[in-house]
Amino acid sequence: MFYFPLIEWVESLKAKKVKFDINLEYINSSSVKNLLEMLKTLDANKYIKEIDINWFYEEGDDDTLEIGQIFEEFSQRLRFMYHEYAEVA
């Protein structure tokens, strides 16, 4: 499982400030579930005081933008910044 080591790492992280860049070309329902679990674990980490999430999505990909916005609603401390980029040909 791709996300399991990431979730474990986030759980044990002891940094005061964390910045995550999330740029997914494709995201399926299984990835949504696991990514949400990772972000919830990050949000619950008591050692981290500031958590910034840079959420990248392709121009016109409203579904990926909406997924980021839903993740933000589930968090208490995660600060999301949304970055739209031009479609790569």
**pLDDT tens digits along 21-41:** 999 988 999 999 999 999 999
pTM: 0.89
3-state secondary structure of 51: strand
H or E element in which residue 33 lies: helix 29-44
Phi and psi at residue 75, to the nearest 5°: -100, 160
pLDDT recorded at residue 37: 94
Per-residue pLDDT at 2 exceeds 90 = no
Tens of pLDDT, residue by residue over 46-82, are 999 999 999 999 999 999 999 999 999 999 999 999 9
8 Rama class: left (phi>0) / alpha (psi -120 to 50) / beta: alpha
Domain ranges of the chain: 3-85
3-state secondary structure of 40: helix
